[in-house]
Structure 1
Amino acid sequence: MDWKKLTIEDKETIDNFTKGKFSTCDYNFTNLFLWSQGEDLHYKIEKDVLIIQGTFVKDEYCFMPIPKDENAIGAMKEVIKELLQKNKKIVLVPEEWKEKLEDTFILEERRDSYDYVYSIESLAYLKGRKYAKKKNRVHNFMKSYNYTYEAVTPENVEEVINFQTNWCHDKECEIVPVLRNENMGILNLLHNFNTLGIKGGILRVDGKIVAYTLGEAISDEYVVIHIEKGLNGYTGSYQMINMAFLEKEFTDHKYVNREDDFGDEGLREAKESYHPLELLKKYEITGIK
């Protein structure tokens, strides 16, 4: 087949290759759809292998090709060889796939793309001394503000869209490529909230939205948090929305993947401060052995 632009109509097709097969965040359809417009994601299927490519600031890349099942792994390796021979960049290879590919290909770690995984019980209740600072921020928020928490629904999603639009304007997203691309994707997610089957949480102070988050279960054990945004000036709002969302929506799951840090030192420090259980390593395929 020819390359096809990835759209919301492709959810079932992509899910057939990816759903429930990855603990990393990248191959979940919602995550792909999030970046599909800003990074111009296209896909095609050859010999039961899904190939996805995108472009970030003129830098073209391919996701790891995904076989439909074990029988297509041989075809997957042939596709990888063809892509490398065309000098294509192949990224976001999870640890479990490295073990299946390293006899044939050269793989290099990419620390900036590691996913951070946490205990949901720990983050939903902030138990123990190591979370004392986080818990203090939550308590101070609860004492300082007349707040409410609610789930995102078809009735209030338009408010979240307006909040995100204003948040992006304040952050001058249009001049920062990753924020511009992310904002396009967030608005796409919110406009297709029901179709995607994701969950969301809203934190209000005196009726005004001050933070929101979007996430979903990607397996029986794992949840992924796609988006978390808050206003400056409401100290503790990020800690509060993080805690409340997991407690209200996902305590029947064990682990939460809060995605990568993009190599941003401030974001890395923030993610490490929540004491991850593990980092999910990812690799780039750089050559053939």
Structure 2
Amino acid sequence: MKLKKLEYDDIKNVVDFIKSNPQKLSLYNPATISLWNGCIYDVYFTIEDNILIIAEVEIENSNNKRLMLPVGKKIAPEKLKDIMNLLGYKYVYYVSEEYINENRNELEQIFAISRQEEYDDYVYLTSELSELKGSKYSPKRNLINQFLKNYSDLFEIKPLAVENIDDVIELTNNVYKQISTEKAFNILACEKKAIENIKKLWGLLEFKGVCIYINKQLKSFAIGSRLNPETYTLNFEKADKNIKGLYQFVDREFAKLVRNDCLYINKESDLGKELLKKAKESYHPVFRLNSYILELK
């Protein structure tokens, strides 16, 4: 068994395999895996015996590496240990709570199990995000109303298309220039690269999105992709921070766009950032998907 670096020509095989074996955690979304490849981590993979094995290897320090939980047929903890030893990996990241609960007794004999809260996913009902009904969403509706009051004759909503990806990249660059801290700068540089990859991978991956133009200039966008038959992931969302209510407006418009295609919207994790946590909680997730780490004893 040998892992291969994920290249453009491999993506369709990975996409098709995951589509046939749909996952719930957003980091198993084929779009997420493909778009962020080469950003901080390089992705390696193999498909053998009806199992997809994916690894992330840090670009600047190849000793910092981990497997993701294999996708495909159910894999026993003992078999997982054998794969890790064969490939030379000590950690498995992004392990679902379902797998932990189904195999806890055996897992505890082989692995140290730890929570990975910064990678817990926030999941919402698409119907709630598209309608924002009830008192709990009153602050969001108020902000949207302020946006509509100030810009009702000035904005235009366009669906995401390959023709406006360049506008999306330009807006991302403008946000990128406003970042002052080095850490945030590096993260956004990586996100910028991932967004640029949308254009390269258009046609291989299933994207949907909305773009909000004001005075014919792109000021906000939301881009998502199919995670599983009942869920879309909201991969990227940006808005001009100087336009009040624009974030809330584009978020609702994205939910409207996909409401006939999915029951849930997965807004990914908060990465352990308090501001992201507050923003995601303010939309009242219907549940969270917990993530775990397995470390070989």
Same fold, judged at TM 0.5 (above):
yes
Q: Which residue of 2 aligns with 1:142?
A: 148
Please tell me whether residue 112 in structure 1 is matched to residue 113 in structure 2.
no
Question: How far does the alpha carbon of each residue in 1:221-261 deviate from its partner, in whole angstroms, 9 at most, with x for none?
Answer: 21111111112201111111110111123334211100000
In 1, Cα distance between equivalents of 2:193 and 2:106: 38
In 2, Cα distance between equivalents of 1:286 and 1:275: 33
Contact 1:119 1:277 in 2 (8 A): yes
Deviation at 1:82, TM superposition (A): 4.6
Contact 1:105 1:286 in 2 (8 A): no
Identity of aligned residues (%): 27
Q: Which residue of 2 aligns with 1:205?
A: 214
Which of the residues 59, 65, 86 maps onto 1:61? 65
| Secondary structure of the structure 1 residue equivalent to 2:177 | helix
AA in 2 matched with 1:135: R
Equivalent positions of 1:1-289 (< 5 A) are 2-19=2-19, 21-38=22-39, 39-56=41-58, 58=61, 60-70=64-74, 73-74=75-76, 77-83=78-84, 86=88, 88-106=90-108, 107-145=113-151, 146-171=154-179, 176-287=185-296
Q: 1:15 to 1:236 in 2, by over 3 A?
A: same
Contact 1:116 1:271 in 2 (8 A): yes
Deviation at 1:212, TM superposition (A): 0.7
In 2, Cα distance between equivalents of 1:190 and 1:174: 27
Uncovered stretches (5+) of structure 1, i.e. residues with no partner: none
In 1, Cα distance between equivalents of 2:5 and 2:182: 23
Runs of 4+ in 1 over 4 A off after TM superposition: 84-87, 172-175
Report the TM-score when normalising by structure 2.
0.87
| Secondary structure of the structure 1 residue equivalent to 2:105 | coil
In 1, Cα distance between equivalents of 2:30 and 2:181: 24
Mean CA deviation greater in 130-139 or 147-156: 147-156
Deviation at 1:286, TM superposition (A): 2.2
Deviation at 1:91, TM superposition (A): 0.7
Contact 1:34 1:182 in 2 (8 A): no
Uncovered stretches (5+) of structure 2, i.e. residues with no partner: none
Q: 1:110 to 1:123 in 2, by over 3 A?
A: same
Report the TM-score when normalising by structure 1.
0.89
Contact 1:223 1:250 in 2 (8 A): no
Contact 1:222 1:254 in 2 (8 A): yes
Deviation at 1:195, TM superposition (A): 2.5
